[in-house]
């Protein structure tokens, strides 16, 4: 095993509140497709297992006994690859202790508590409260990225940048959302991607206001917003980037709306400093966005008061961003000891924690004209005095704008890892 994984495991061992309990972390197994075709969904080891092993071992289990020390206490158990797995799938034997010996390893430590993380292995008895405490500590330990992780993220960013450069060459009225997806993703793979980090989003015209829209055969029309949210993945580490364009010549309102989002995003990035509270950055950004909508004649009132009333969620219904790295929303969530803020406008806020050096976060404010939100009678009644509704009715169908970068928090100024991907209509 590499010194990098030795160091990582030792750091994790010191951070986990195991006391004298054993830790068992399962990789999980393949999930069959439902139609009985002898095929499975692409296998991905549980992130907790992968973080501690760097391996995609089907059925693997990593065990740890704190009595044996922060490095020597870890034992990787792996299944024996069968003959049929070799010739049907090309599977090769992973290094490690045969998994048949895991039962003996546990029996030799009988009577001690077991904390089962990752994909649970068999029916091991595990105290739910202890699992919660240990998982929370592991998540916290995973949040700041080490040098090896940052190197992979930077490689994923470079592949993502190549994809966006290719997409901009293809973007024009008449091209389909699907064609843009194909060109973007193909360029990811040409530049070393092992897969896409998540389902690529390409939404044109009204589809740009559908937050997780899948690319379709819809042809981009002259003057459409085109929102693209995509990222390449390399060896499980990924980028997560959004850019919004206009096919053809932008209208004045489109330029103005874009500048509101861009300005709010750039100010939010500068707030990403070690010690800053993520929820406060989100709320400050919401005020910036609302101030822009007031200036554009879409909303009315004092921006801070409008955010306190949660009126901003009519146009900015999601959180400012999340952590990224070993998967999308990697190790996001709550700081240890915190509970979720009950305000409805924060239900999609993916993090509530102070930022720390080494964390990589997405910063992705957006403004959208979403028919399902803006035409709902209850919201119209609640916010009757907050919005110029006649103006909004004329804008429904325009779509939306989102701009997203990946930001490394440092001990000084934030480092925008995705700065090389141009922002502009």
pLDDT of the chain along its 425 residues, tens only? 577 899 999 999 999 999 999 999 999 998 989 887 778 888 999 999 999 999 999 999 999 999 999 999 999 999 888 778 787 778 888 888 999 999 999 999 999 999 999 998 887 777 889 999 999 999 999 999 999 999 999 999 999 999 999 999 999 999 999 999 999 999 999 999 999 999 999 999 999 999 999 999 999 999 999 999 999 999 999 999 999 999 999 999 999 999 999 999 999 999 999 999 999 999 999 999 999 999 999 999 999 999 999 999 999 999 999 999 999 999 999 999 999 999 999 999 999 999 999 999 999 999 999 999 999 999 999 999 999 999 999 999 999 999 999 999 999 999 999 999 999 98
pLDDT score at 95? 86
Judged on CB neighbours under 10 Å (0-12, 13-18, 19+), 342 is exposed
**What is the C-alpha separation between 226 and 208, in angstroms, rounded?**
6
Name the DSSP class of 194. Answer: S
What are the C-alpha distances in Å from 35 to residues 31, 32, 39, 43, 88?
12, 8, 9, 17, 19
pLDDT score at 85? 74
**What is the C-alpha separation between 143 and 265, in angstroms, rounded?**
22
**What is the C-alpha separation between 241 and 161, in angstroms, rounded?**
9
Whether 160 contacts 418, CB under 8 Å: yes
pLDDT score at 379? 97
Q: Is the pTM of this model over 0.75?
A: yes
Start-to-end CA span in the chain (Å): 47
Which token pair is 127? 């105290």
Q: Which residue has the tokens 């949210």?
A: 229
Whether 231 contacts 198, CB under 8 Å: yes
Q: Is the dihedral of CA 403, 406, 412, 413 positive or negative?
A: negative
Which token pair is 41? 């969904």
Which parts of 17-127 fold into alpha helices (H)?
47-53, 83-89, 102-107
Residue in 292, 287, 286, 307 with CA at minimum distance from that of residue 383: 307
């Amino acid at each position: 095993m590499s010194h990098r994984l030795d160091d990582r495991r030792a750091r994790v061992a010191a951070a986990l509140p195991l006391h004298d309990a054993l830790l068992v972390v399962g990789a999980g197994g393949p999930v069959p497709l439902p139609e009985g075709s002898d095929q499975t969904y692409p296998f991905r080891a549980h992130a907790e297992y992968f973080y501690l092993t760097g391996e995609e071992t089907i059925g693997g289990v990593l065990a740890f006994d704190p009595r044996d020390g922060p490095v020597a206490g870890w034992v990787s158990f792996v299944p024996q690859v069968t003959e049929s797995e070799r010739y049907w799938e090309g599977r090769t034997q992973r290094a490690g202790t045969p998994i048949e010996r895991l039962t003996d390893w546990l029996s030799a430590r009988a009577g001690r508590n077991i904390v089962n993380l990752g994909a649970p292995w068999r029916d091991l008895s595990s105290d739910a409260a202890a699992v919660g405490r240990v998982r929370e500590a592991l998540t916290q330990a995973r949040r700041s990225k080490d040098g090896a992780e940052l190197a992979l993220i930077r490689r994923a960013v470079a592949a993502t940048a190549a994809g966006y450069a290719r997409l901009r060459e293809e973007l024009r009225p008449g091209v389909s959302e699907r064609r843009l997806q194909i060109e973007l993703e193909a360029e990811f793979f040409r530049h070393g991607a092992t897969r896409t980090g998540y389902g690529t989003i390409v939404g044109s015209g009204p589809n740009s206001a559908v937050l997780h829209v899948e690319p379709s055969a819809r042809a981009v029309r002259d003057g459409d917003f085109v929102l693209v949210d995509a990222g390449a993945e390399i060896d499980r580490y990924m980028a997560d980037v959004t850019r919004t364009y206009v096919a053809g010549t932008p209208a004045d309102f489109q330029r103005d709306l874009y500048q509101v989002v861009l300005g709010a995003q750039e100010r939010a990035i500068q707030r990403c400093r070690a010690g800053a509270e993520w929820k406060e950055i989100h709320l400050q950004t919401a005020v910036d966005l609302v101030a822009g909508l007031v200036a554009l004649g879409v909303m009315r009132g004092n921006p801070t008061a409008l955010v306190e009333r949660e009126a901003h969620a009519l146009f900015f219904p999601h959180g400012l961003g999340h952590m990224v790295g070993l998967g999308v929303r990697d190790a996001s969530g709550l700081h240890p000891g915190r509970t979720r803020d009950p305000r409805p406008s924060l239900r999609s806020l993916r993090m509530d924690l102070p930022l720390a050096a080494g964390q990589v976060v997405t910063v992705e404010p957006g403004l959208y004209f979403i028919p399902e939100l803006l035409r709902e009678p209850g919201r119209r009644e609640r916010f009757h005095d907050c919005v110029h509704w006649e103006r909004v009715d004329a804008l429904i169908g325009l779509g939306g704008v989102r701009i997203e970068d990946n930001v490394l928090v440092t001990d000084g100024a934030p480092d925008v890892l995705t700065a090389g991907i141009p922002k502009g209509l």
